[in-house]
Structure 1
Amino acid sequence: MSERWARAVLNTYRLAGAAVFPLIGTYVGWRASRGKEDRLRRRERYGRASKPRPPGPIIWVHAASVGETNAIVPLVRRILDYGVNVVLTTGTVTSAQVADEVLGDSVIHQYVPLDLKPAVSRFLDHWEPDLAIIAESEIWPMTILELGERRVPQVLVNGRLSDRSYRSWKKRAFLAEALFENLAHVVAQSELDGERFQSLGARPVTVSGNLKVDVTPPEADEAALSALRDQIGKRPTWAAISTHDGEEKVAAEVHLALLRARHPELLTIVVPRHPERAAAIEAEIAAMGLKTARRSSGDRITPETDVLVGDTIGEMGLYLRLTEIAFVGRSLTAEGGQNPLEPAMLETAVLAGRNVQNFRDSYQRLIDSGGARLVRDRDMLTGAVNYLLCNEAARRDMISAAAATVGDMRGALARTLKALDPFIHPLVVKSRLDGTNGMRGR
């Protein structure tokens, strides 16, 4: 009965998607007007390829946004080293920019098609992938079903299920099983994630650890870094990174409290998760009587500057190298948390709110080692930043503990490649027999 019900629900989803497809252009156009879609490439969202398919085997790799894209870059590079072509899809403009910066023409980049049958079918008809690798938690029913019907192996890597997602799927267990049975393998981030996928019907499931641990720490332009350090001088600094709505105001309030305490020369660095919010953030902070410098405008940091607003893409490595204390957002006024591993890699003491469910395993390891601390609210954050600014030894201990923890967590890439080998190896053999050896070999 549940199997028949799942089939009926998914068939309804398929038909509804086909019905609304002719009308979806208005929605995509609206998103493009807000900068959420690439105006020049929005046809790709309908599955219309902007590039020809190269000969030989192709692996389709999908990463939704910036974090997932950065996480799978080392994996993509290893696949390219095997001589197999990669079509990389992402879902956001910023992740497309990151892909272009770090991978360039070594991959074929396309925006992921909308999860509607006409778009997905058109995409698959053109690219004819031999393997689909999906990063983290991108579960798109129509895409999974279409790949399943074409007998294309699908592997979920760096897989995770947040508390909210798991509860949602658990309520629809019959639907989850109908979808997850199409996955040839799930490579989960943690034991908890693995157990959750198994309980929803995924088989087989292995645990790799977090691919984000095996990435190279974000780099920084040396000239820009040197210039900013000269402007800051010996002023004490702290950063609030990957912030969401409400957390920038908290950071500004922390700044004001610390100014009145023992740190009259303090510089606060605010790096919003979504840079397009920078103008509103700047206005909000200015309304509190604080002076800002905006990175995208090229503003200089003067002795009067209170807050540097880091509203540029791809410069997290720059901002983190300007401080030794980093609060990681989406954890106080929003839920789920953001990745704490980048600041841990770049020698900062890590602070966050208590809502870090999406990165539970990483935070737990950092907390257990003394490399991170969770704060309850603004006042507790103020106290934690003040303590770390005043106590160099404690700050250094946290930094060392965080770095050591990251070192202990490495190895996810090797374990993921081992799980993928049965799927990739036949494609490597086929590529060599056909005389096609991937884009790097041309």
Structure 2
Amino acid sequence: MGKPLFRGFYKGLSLLLYLLSLPFLLFLITKPKYRRSIPARFFLFKNPRIKECDVWIHACSLGEVKSLEPLMRELRGERVLLSVITATGLDEAKRLYPWARVTFLPFEPFLGFWAPRCKSLVVVEAELWFSLFESAKKKGAKTMLLNARISDRSYPRYLRFRFFYERLFEWVDELFAQREEDRERLLALGAKEVSVKGNLKLLSTPVPKQLLPKPPKPLIVAASTHEGEEEMILEAVASLSYPFYLAIVPRHPERFDSVWKLLERWSARENRSIIRRSQQSQWWSAEVTLVDSMGELIDLYAIAEGVILGGAFVPVGGHNPLEPAYFGCKILSGIHIHNQFALFENIEGYYLMEPRELLEYLERLPALPRSFVKGEMGPKPLLDAILHYKKECEIDGKSL
């Protein structure tokens, strides 16, 4: 299929999928999780076109938005547009970067006319939207994929659609991969200019928002947990031989209520005390705290003895281990870390296990060595690529 024919087919297919999904989208708007994002992304409600910017950065959700902090500090003097997919990502972006223009990314059929004229487009990780790169490139931007990775698990699926990625990468000028293995996979999919720059998250040093009181007993943080993991963790801690505090921080806010109901049943059965953070301002007044508030995970890492890192005891792919490692927490994780291999490679002192082994490791927790981050990278190569237009102006002798 030729390039013009492919573009026409892809755009037609995107529009058809959009039209067919309208009834489902209208239903999803009733869900709190999607109440803001769907109207903005699929109906452009309160999402007007921005005509021009210097740097357009696109990041999917909260984790990617947070990882941008070191780069965004350096870009503060530029006109930056930051687009996101999720409502939690939007809220975090507005909190961290109030000086930038922050908005939801429209669905692909709208991008042809919505995309602003910019000098650089920077897309973070696996947000491989064909129309995003094509629209920016056609309007004169240098296009980059930052922090690119392809996990062992997803690579076979990428290969099945190699014909699509070959055409997508024709619109990407430069790719920065996390590892050499990612670089090789991207080249196999048709990418051209790929270099290994490490993981963007290694640029960030997490800083607590507030200093929480140190608990009188060891604190275990169950971080970014998913369905099925809270029950497994509660079953394990119920048999611990030493006193402890447990803070459970579900990954998705829409699960707060269901996790609280689980805690109520567990508390009645095990005769253990529980509290809900949103209803109790004082920390450590119960053995188990449901942290049903946003933005407190880093504060908890700073005083934790150990962290049970969620998303890996069920086949989600794991979550960022760098943040707890910066604070020397002892990291316990499941084996399903296929989305986080590159980050775990930069850490010493973590422990992977099956769910049935969790209690054994928790019993040994006080004696386990603390984790630490062993790798680092600097932002200059990435900044040089993003701010290429300044260097070009200097070469041309133009005034900035």
Give TM-score, length-normalised by structure 2: 0.90
Q: Partner residue of 1:440?
A: none
Provide structure 1 residue ranges, at least 5 long, that are not aligned to the other structure.
435-442
Which residue is 2:227 aligned to? 245
Paired with 1:310 and 1:334, the residues of 2 have a C-alpha distance of 23
Q: Distance in 2 between matches of 1:67 and 1:243?
A: 14
Please give the per-residue CA displacement for 1:2-48, whole angstroms capped at 9, x wherever unaligned. Answer: x53x7655533311322454565544443332122353993354456
Match of 2:361 among 384, 409, 413: 384
**Partner of 1:287 in structure 2?**
265
What is residue 122 of structure 1 aligned with on the other side? 113
Bigger fraction of residues in helix? 1
Bigger mean CA offset, 62-71 vs 193-202: 193-202
Structure 1 residues 183 and 166: CA distance shift in structure 2, 3 A: same
Task: Give the stretch that moved more between structures: 23-32 or 135-144.
Answer: 23-32
Query: Out of 98, 102, 113, which is 1:109 matched to?
Result: 102
Q: Are the counterparts in 1 of residues 37 and 104 from structure 2 also a CA contact under 8 Å?
A: no
1:361 aligns with 2:350: no
What residue in structure 2 maps to residue 18 of structure 1? 15
1:256-271 correspondence to structure 2 within 5 Å? 256-258=238-240, 262-263=241-242, 265-271=243-249
User: In structure 1, the residue corresponding to 2:217 is in which secondary structure?
Assistant: coil
Q: Relative contact order: is structure 1 or structure 2 higher (C-alpha 8 Å, sep ≥ 6)? A: 1
Gap change, CA 1:211 and 1:428, over 3 Å in 2: farther
After TM superposition, the structure 1 stretch with the greater mean CA deviation from structure 2, 209-218 or 143-152, is 143-152
Determine if the alignment matches structure 1 residue 69 to structure 2 residue 65. Answer: yes
The answer to whether the 8 A contact 2:144-2:172 is kept is: yes
In 1: Cα distance, 2:393 partner to 2:92 partner: 27
Asked whether the 8 Å contact 1:242–1:273 carries over to 2, the reply is: yes
- Is 1:353–1:374's contact at 8 Å kept on the other side of the alignment? yes
Q: Does 1:422 align with 2:388?
A: yes
Aligned partner of 1:122: which letter? F
* 2:332 paired with 1:343: no
Per-residue deviation at 1:297? 2.4
- Offset of residue 294 of structure 1: 1.4
Aligned counterparts of 1:352 and 1:421: Cα–Cα separation in 2: 38
For 2:125 and 2:57, the matched residues in 1 are separated by 11
- Which of these residues, 203, 209, 212, is aligned with residue 214 of structure 1? 203
Structure 1 equivalent of residue 287 of structure 2: 306
How many angstroms does 1:301 deviate by?
4.9
1:84–1:357 distance in 2 versus 1, CA, 3 Å: same
Is 1:97 aligned to 2:91, yes or no?
yes
User: Is 1:160 the counterpart of 2:149 in the alignment?
Assistant: yes
Shift of residue 246, structure 1, vs aligned partner: 0.7
Paired residue secondary structure (1:98) = helix
Cα distance change, pair 40–194 in 1 and its aligned pair in 2 (3 A): closer
Post-superposition Cα deviations, 1:231-276, rounded to whole Å, max 9, x if no partner, equal x4x1222111011111111110111121xxx21x321111111122
Q: What percent identity do the matched residue pairs reach?
A: 25
Please name the residue that 1:134 is paired with: 123
Q: Contact 1:45/1:111 (CA < 8 Å) preserved in 2?
A: no
Q: Which moved more, 1:308-317 or 1:421-430?
A: 421-430
Confirm or deny that 1:277 pairs with 2:255. Answer: yes
Count of residue pairs brought into register by the alignment? 395
SS at match of 2:316: coil
Q: Verify the 8 A CA contact 1:48 1:123 in the aligned structure 2.
A: no
Q: 1:60 aligns with which of 52, 56, 62?
A: 56
CA apart distance, 1:64 = 0.2
* Cα distance in 1 for residues equivalent to 2:281 and 2:345: 38
